Chains A and B, each alone.
Chain A
Amino acid sequence: MIRTTISVLIGALLALGLAGCGERPQVVNYKKGEYQGKPDQKAYDTAPWNGNKRDWEVALATRNQSQNEYKRIR
């Protein structure tokens, strides 16, 4: 009777001790999602730029500088 109890206890302890070996990693590896929507046109793709990126950038740079009143009033 005592032997049986001891062997059951040892078995239970072994089972508990080995239970940790089956643990799976619980940290989620974040995977960045990809855009799933419709593709967009570039701002300079359509008229009046018709794909001329350089002209479009010049137009934007000019308007950007018009926000600097120190340059505008001089």
Chain B
Amino acid sequence: MARMKFLCDAERCIECNGCVTACKQEHDIPWGVNRRRVVTINDGVPGERSISVACMHCSDAPCMAVCPVDCFYRTDDGVVLHDKDLCIGCGYCFYACPFGAPQFPQAGAFGVRGKMDKCTFCAGGPEPNNSEAEYKKYGRNRLAEGKLPVCAEMCSTKALLGGEGDVLADIYRERVTTRGKGSEVWGWATAYGRPEGPKGAPGMPGAPASPGAPAPAGAKS
């Protein structure tokens, strides 16, 4: 049995908000509701990190525990979904969720809180698969089409991964062990390729500077 999860690589996320836009477009999400958003820590400070956050489809979901009308359920794939016909929009799930995933559309002229809306892992809800009713209430059901969540699939830097947890862990492990650390991650050699010549050859990184070579522009004598 698959266990669907999201994983966001903070080393790769460039805060482009492409995932947020793709989600809104895919599911025709109303104004004021963000099923996914990008959070930046230490914004503007060197070394800032961004991470894309949505419902994490918890294995022991607090929203399910606190819901007074028990409108939440978990699919066989570990996706936490809810029945909007049963939701009373009380907001308990919003207080319980550590990720701030539940969203409440402003329905009506006086900002009355509507029924809760959240990330469905592009798995729709308790309506016939790919029906109009499902799209209207929960958005597109990409899982039923054999596709993964649009936010992860369209992520340009592949910072956001979505799918079976074990597979994501393998992808991330390979990534971390391949990219190395420090300057190996984003250095010149990573961007433009490593030199072909033998190490220490003239003109190659790590070669000793020749005594007669002109100093680079801007260098202090």
Contact = CB atoms under 8 A, between A and B. Distances in A.
A60 interface: yes
Contact of B129 (A32, A41, A61, A70): A41
Interface residues of B, number: 44
A43 to B, nearest CB: 4
Contacts of A35: 70-73, 83
A35 to B, nearest CB: 4
B125 interface: yes
Contacts, number: 96
B167 A43 contact: no
Interface string B55-96: 000000000110101111101110001110110000000000
A48 B71 CA distance: 29
Contacts of A33: 64, 67, 70
B129 A56 contact: no
B40 interface: no
Interface in A3-60: 32-46, 48-49, 56-57, 59-60
A38 B85 contact: yes
Nearest to B128: A41
Given A61-B167, A64-B163, A38 B126 contact: yes
Contacts of B174: 68, 70
B170 to A, nearest CB: 8
B146 A59 contact: yes
